[in-house]
Structure 1
């Protein structure tokens, strides 16, 4: 237990579809949670730093209580007691437009037994005196604060109520990821074991996981320390083919997954070995290469493969034929459920990140270039030789190289691939999405007149 002086920790609790995630987005100042006019959109609890007037807050967004559905909802509801031990107070939110129902009454009775300060809030009160049509006093918290999370109404009164909450000793939750070395984005098709992998690494069930496909909807970021290195793990929704995505919630989930890719450094693409490599996996890999992120492929459920050597060779062959540079992507067999191979996977992830950030000296590169040119000279262009002169690395993250020389922009694609493959194999840049640019040197006598 510890006492925190700032910021105040607040959990937003209520039945489904009362506007909890909308209020979270309003307080954080950007869209961090998916919002849709249907029940059960939020599945995992999330914690974010937020501002309300002059208050610094740490807000915990929670799934709706009282939703009848699959068994995995019982898992997240079982986590609520721990959330209440880690906050200074609760925003109990109800719907001021439709009124309260039996689920609100059950939540109210449960909160009365917890002994925690509660701020009772009626959301969707855009119209004056609308909520007074319903007897909210039956819930036992008095008159609710009238707010509109969508339009930002009533937030001043809410801030005054939060100021009056006393700080109390509380447990700690895994908060927003700060001061991390890099972000690992876990991508893949639905139900390949992304959440199960993260839960194993954390050592407890932080994320919802189960045999049903499509459990994860929001992109959830959690901190992890592995072998002394601080990393942010980002769990994402499963990516299916666009033609198979019909529901708007799934479309927003896919957009959130791709948006997370923009802010990560290394990507772990998980593949279900019981299903094999599909075209959608190659499409995801192409997006990763376009963004220039480090990439490693985890072959999950490896213990269920009978011919492991043949399966491994087939995956390597499909990657080499299906995507440019696919033959250089590291493959790591593992079982996210039992933890077999997870330690080796992290060794590969750290190696890829270090190589992704590494800079090679110009002297080493030019010595390497001369060896490659002697081993395999470029083809002639209109009877004249193409003469690469020197090469240098202009940036890292991802490793980007520039080749200078006469007419190097006319080098054929197969020769560019020859040089790129040589860079990857000779400088150990597997899984780093390296890039090679060509720039022609200027002729100093081109503008002179005889």
Structure 2
């Protein structure tokens, strides 16, 4: 049985550094300035033989109001409630502060299993802080260095007895069922992509304050991500696995992406980089626009980035509930979409309200259809019948009087669909004709919106015997005056 460990503490005590060490990846953003982490981030951790879920939390602040710090604190307290164990971290070099004492008192009341860790414990400078940690009344502190990996063995030794006791109390006795190998095989055939082991990967991207976190919270049905009127609340690309309808998905909430010239701070650069990586890992990218100011220059750049990365794209217009002239606005949006993003011709444009949840079912259907088209494969026979009809309707040009011949086409990959056309003089085929073929693929094989990769490749027609010397049969050598093999 797996368990959940929440890492809590003041800002800048090293929670995200320890989280990254336990999961074995640099998933959480780490910086010297306090308050980098704001949302709850989960990861699959490994420590010795233990496998468990670890939660990285926002730094605990002395705020109980509706300010950003107050909302962050409530989110952290929620993580403490749902976790099986809590690891309370302090900064050994800074020593125990009044804030540490206050939160230690809260944790004693909220969680039955609290471990105390004095981080940044390498060197003599941390000795006094480690000794002060005893006064918190949470037992003997673990002396750790999350950055250098010191004390991980001690943490494992503390967790093992707690885990054994936890598993014995929560052991589930499963009924005995005879399962044959054939039953297993039949059960596996029921699952089709996406599955729980390979969920549909969705990234929600857009400018700051477009409502990305609010939208994902509404899909989840709970306030899992930090939201508010402030722009730029989300910093990490947080991934959440869930069932959307009956479809297993992993959805990524990303930081708002501003214009490159406005991104000056190191932390914002890290946040944007994290969001760009989420786009590369995703299969479907939902570009979220603000209905009040849609199709800003940055929106176009984000949508173009998703297309260049070869991802299926769905455009969603948020805050539709506050729009008065809906029909006129929708007509204007569709016209702007067609004119400003021709590379995404036919991609779905869905109006939603993250606040009320209206339009989310249409958004789900659009995402599933975009994913299906992204995985579509066309047979070579169908492609070549199509290519013949396209050439008859509009023959390729003849530069210099030499007609470019398109011989045959085949699909070489999916995700996104990629095609190769074998032809003569591919370097002289104009871009306009390639665009004509791509548009034909979209319309004739029902692939609207998805990125299509079309490559023109030369098929060599060279004589295979051109550079080979002709051999003379031995029976003719004596008539030609040439010596035989024995020299006679």
- Which TM-score band applies after superposition, normalised by the shorter structure? over 0.9
Q: Which structure shows the bigger proportion of residues in helix conformation?
A: 2
Task: Report the counterpart of residue 453 of structure 2 in structure 1.
Answer: 435
Cα 1:445–1:67, aligned 2, differ >3 Å: closer, same or farther? farther
Cα RMSD (Å): 2.1
Q: Please say if residues 273 and 302 of structure 1, whose CA atoms lie closer than 8 Å, have aligned partners that are also in contact.
A: yes
**Count of matched residue positions in the alignment of Structure 1 and Structure 2:** 439
Q: Output the TM-score relative to the length of structure 2.
A: 0.85
Report the equivalent of 1:42.
37
The structure-2 alpha-carbon separation of the partners of 1:115 and 1:387, relative to structure 1 and needing over 3 Å to count, comes to closer
In structure 2, C-alpha distance between the alignment counterparts of 1:284 and 1:34, rounded to whole Å: 22
Say if 2:148 is the partner of 1:151: yes
Distance 2:62 2:250 in 1: 30
Deviation at 1:101, TM superposition (A): 1.1
**Aligned equivalent of 1:139, options 136, 153, 176:** 136
The Cα shift of 1:74 comes to 2.9
Partner of 2:183: none
Find the counterpart in structure 2 of residue 56 from structure 1: 51
Q: Hey, what's the Cα distance between the residues in 1 that align with 2:352 and 2:32? A: 39
* In structure 1, C-alpha distance between the alignment counterparts of 2:434 and 2:323, rounded to whole Å: 37
* Alignment partner of 1:277 is 2:286: no
Q: Is the 8 A contact 2:344 2:451 kept in 1?
A: no
* Residue number in structure 2 paired with 1:214: 232
1:3-60 Cα deviation digits (max 9, x unpaired): xx2x332111111111001100111111010111122111111211111233222211
- Aligned equivalents of 1:431, 1:186: Cα separation in 2: 17
Q: Quote the Cα distance in structure 2 between the aligned partners of 1:183 and 1:327.
A: 22
- The answer to which of 95-104 and 177-186 deviates more is 177-186
Per the alignment, residue 282 of structure 2 pairs with: 264
2:114 maps to 1:96: no
Q: 1:146 to 1:181 in 2, by over 3 A?
A: closer
Correspondence for 1:328 among 346, 371, 374: 346
Per the alignment, do residues 355 and 205 of structure 1 end up closer, same or farther by CA in structure 2, a change over 3 Å counting? same
Is this contact kept in 2: 1:40–1:67, CA < 8 A? no
Q: What 5-or-longer segments of structure 2 have no aligned partner? A: 171-194, 471-488
Within-5 A mapping of 1:9-408? 9-66=4-61, 68=63, 71-128=67-124, 130-132=126-128, 135-165=132-162, 166-167=165-166, 179-408=197-426
CA–CA separation in structure 2 for the residues paired with 1:299 and 1:189 = 12
* Aligned residues of 2:39 and 2:75 also touching (Cα < 8 A): no
Distance 1:84 1:313 in 2: 48
Q: Would you say the 8 A contact 1:187–1:269 is kept in 2?
A: yes
Q: 1:382-413 CA deviation, whole Å, 9 max, x = no partner?
A: 11111112111111000001111222342111
How big is the shift at 1:444?
4.2
How far does the alpha carbon of each residue in 1:212-259 deviate from its partner, in whole angstroms, 9 at most, with x for none? 101111111112212311111110000111111122111110000001
Q: How many Å separate the matches in 2 of 1:248 and 1:106?
A: 32
Rounded Cα–Cα distance in structure 2 between residues aligned with 1:341 and 1:122: 48
Gaps of 5+ in 1: 171-176
Instruction: Give the corresponding residue for 1:174.
Output: none
Aligned partner of residue 124 in structure 2, secondary structure: coil
CA deviation map 1:59-90 (0-9, x unaligned)? 11111112559624433433445433433321
Question: Which digits, 9 at most, give the CA deviation of each residue in 1:350-396, with x for residues without a partner?
Answer: 00101111101111111111111111111111111111121111110
Bigger mean CA deviation after superposition, 156-165 or 348-357: 156-165
Which position in structure 1 is the counterpart of 2:484?
none
Which segment is superposed worse, 9-18 or 160-169? 160-169
